[in-house]
């Protein structure tokens, strides 16, 4: 079935109305929350909408229209108010980056679903399974930074939070019945400490382009110049770099080293429009690359053989436990925690507990096995 016909959500774009909404939200014990950003449509992504749902009301807060969102900070950091997200990590990273918010008391319905071993943890899949509701994907790639937002777009955004509170209750009941509540809860607590999402330019980012290390040293110098040129154009036009030129196109240009506009025509991703807009700049970048010093590969910290061996043993153990539980491996232990344990090599219970903090449930469940593996 399609989502039922609902009263329109309230779009909050005026300071006075915003203050009233914050007062209402502060009176609640639980809030459903989501965000929309414009990463597909701008050079620097930003949060363009913050959705809240409470029983009987849906609010869409417009950060592009409001001067000061600081009053929301006390909601997100209040341990007495539970914030219900689905897939909270990216939302929290962006909210921390753009507004400096801190978080306490989270419930992530995706974390809960994965802890229960459900294979399809996307919100639309869960809504179909739990409520028989089919939500359209029509606006998944919408430009949330464009104003005005259409009524259809606003309604689409509201559906990302409208069902979260009743969904939270269903999943919480299932977690208690499966005796997995504490396991899911500590994973949600850990989400509050994620680092802000990096939104800056990395001048060495071309080293992370897929297959870039198949290039010759001189071609690497060319691809560096192409990468810098692409970023300058993206910044000027306020577009994501991938909308200027794709990575495969950068590699093809570096490999072919075209000397005129005609030679660009046969390269992947080079349309007539792109040749007209960027052709001369690309040829200049190729020329600079042929004259520039060869770039040095960034150094990476070498992992000691013993650390790597411990990590591989822990990784195999995690995979085995996950297979028995019918869950994804990171539900058992996050990958970065495996590395922390492998590097610290704790030899006793208390030192392992410190490394695994705040994952106390996982420490109690797997601590003895982990110490045994490390001893071996």
Q: What phi and psi, each to the nearest 5 degrees, are found at residue 80?
A: -85, -10
Closest CA to 306 of 342, 269, 336: 342
Q: What's the pLDDT score for residue 26?
A: 97
Half-sphere CA count of 302, side-chain side, radius 13 A: 3
Task: Domain 305-375: give its CATH architecture.
Answer: Orthogonal Bundle (1.10)
Q: Cα 153–156–159 angle (5° rounding)?
A: 155
Identify the three-state secondary structure at position 162: helix
Token pair for residue 46? 């930003």
Query: pLDDT truncated to tens, each residue of the chain (376 aa)?
Result: 556 678 889 999 999 999 999 999 999 999 999 999 999 999 999 999 999 999 999 999 999 999 999 999 999 999 999 999 999 999 999 999 999 999 999 999 999 999 999 999 999 999 999 999 988 888 889 999 999 999 999 999 999 999 999 999 999 999 999 999 999 999 999 999 999 977 788 999 999 999 999 999 999 999 999 999 999 999 999 999 999 999 999 999 999 999 999 999 999 999 999 999 999 999 999 999 999 999 998 887 788 999 999 999 999 999 999 999 999 999 999 999 999 999 999 999 999 999 999 999 999 999 999 999 999 8
Question: What whole-number distance in Å separates Cα of residue 22 and Cα of residue 256?
Answer: 57
Q: What's the pLDDT score for residue 197?
A: 73
Strand extents, DSSP E, the chain: 10-12, 30-37, 47-54, 57-61, 82-85, 106-108
Token pair for residue 31? 């809030």
Q: How far is CA 227 from CA 179, 242, 270, 286, in A?
A: 51, 11, 15, 11
Query: Could you give the residue range(s) of every CATH 3.30.420.10 domain in the chain?
Result: 10-191
Q: What's the pLDDT score for residue 11?
A: 98
Identify the three-state secondary structure at position 363: helix
Instruction: Give the fold, CATH level 3, of 205-291.
Output: DNA polymerase; domain 1 (1.10.150)
Q: What's the pLDDT score for residue 246?
A: 97
Question: What whole-number distance in Å separates Cα of residue 356 and Cα of residue 180?
Answer: 18
The pairing of beta strand 30-37 with beta strand 82-85: parallel
Token pair for residue 344? 């610290």
Q: What's the pLDDT score for residue 307?
A: 95
Report the CATH number of the 10-191 domain: 3.30.420.10
Q: Provide the sign of the torsion angle of the four alpha carbons 11, 56, 138, 91, taken in this order.
A: positive
Query: Could you give the residue range(s) of every CATH 1.10.150.80 domain in the chain?
Result: 205-291, 305-375
């Amino acid at each position: 079935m399609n989502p039922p016909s609902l009263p329109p959500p309230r779009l909050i774009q005026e300071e006075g109305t915003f203050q009233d909404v914050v007062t209402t939200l502060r009176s609640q014990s639980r809030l459903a929350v989501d965000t929309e950003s414009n990463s597909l449509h701008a050079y620097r992504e930003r949060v363009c909408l913050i959705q809240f749902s409470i029983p009987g009301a849906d609010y869409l807060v417009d950060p592009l229209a409001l001067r000061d969102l600081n009053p929301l900070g006390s909601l997100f950091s209040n341990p007495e108010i539970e914030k219900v997200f689905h897939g909270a990590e990216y939302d929290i990273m962006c909210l921390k980056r753009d507004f400096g918010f801190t978080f306490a008391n989270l419930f992530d319905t995706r974390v809960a679903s994965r802890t229960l071993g459900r294979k399809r943890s996307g919100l639309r899949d869960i809504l179909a399974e739990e409520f028989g509701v089919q939500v359209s994907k029509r606006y998944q790639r919408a430009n949330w930074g464009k104003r005005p937002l259409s009524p259809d777009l606003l309604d689409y955004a509201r559906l990302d939070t409208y069902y979260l509170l009743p969904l939270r209750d269903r999943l919480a009941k299932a977690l208690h019945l499966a005796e997995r509540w504490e396991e899911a809860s500590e994973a949600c607590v850990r989400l509050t400490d994620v680092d802000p999402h990096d939104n800056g330019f990395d001048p060495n980012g071309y080293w992370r382009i897929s297959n870039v290390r198949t290039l010759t040293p001189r071609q690497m110098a060319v691809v560096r110049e192409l990468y810098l040129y692409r970023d300058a154009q993206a910044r000027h036009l306020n577009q994501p770099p991938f909308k200027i030129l794709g990575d495969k196109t950068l590699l093809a240009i570096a490999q072919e080293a075209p000397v005129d506009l005609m030679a660009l025509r046969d390269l992947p991703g080079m349309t007539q429009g792109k040749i007209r807009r960027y052709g001369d700049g690309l040829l200049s970048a190729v020329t600079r690359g042929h004259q520039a010093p060869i770039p040095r590969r960034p150094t990476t910290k070498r992992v000691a053989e013993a650390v790597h061996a411990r990590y591989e043993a822990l990784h195999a153990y995690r995979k085995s436990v996950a297979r028995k539980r019918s869950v994804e491996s990171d539900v058992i232990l996050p990958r970065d925690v495996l590395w922390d344990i492998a590097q610290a090599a704790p030899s006793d219970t208390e030192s392992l507990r410190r490394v695994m903090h705040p994952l106390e449930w996982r420490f109690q469940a797997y601590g003895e096995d982990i110490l045994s593996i490390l001893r071996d």
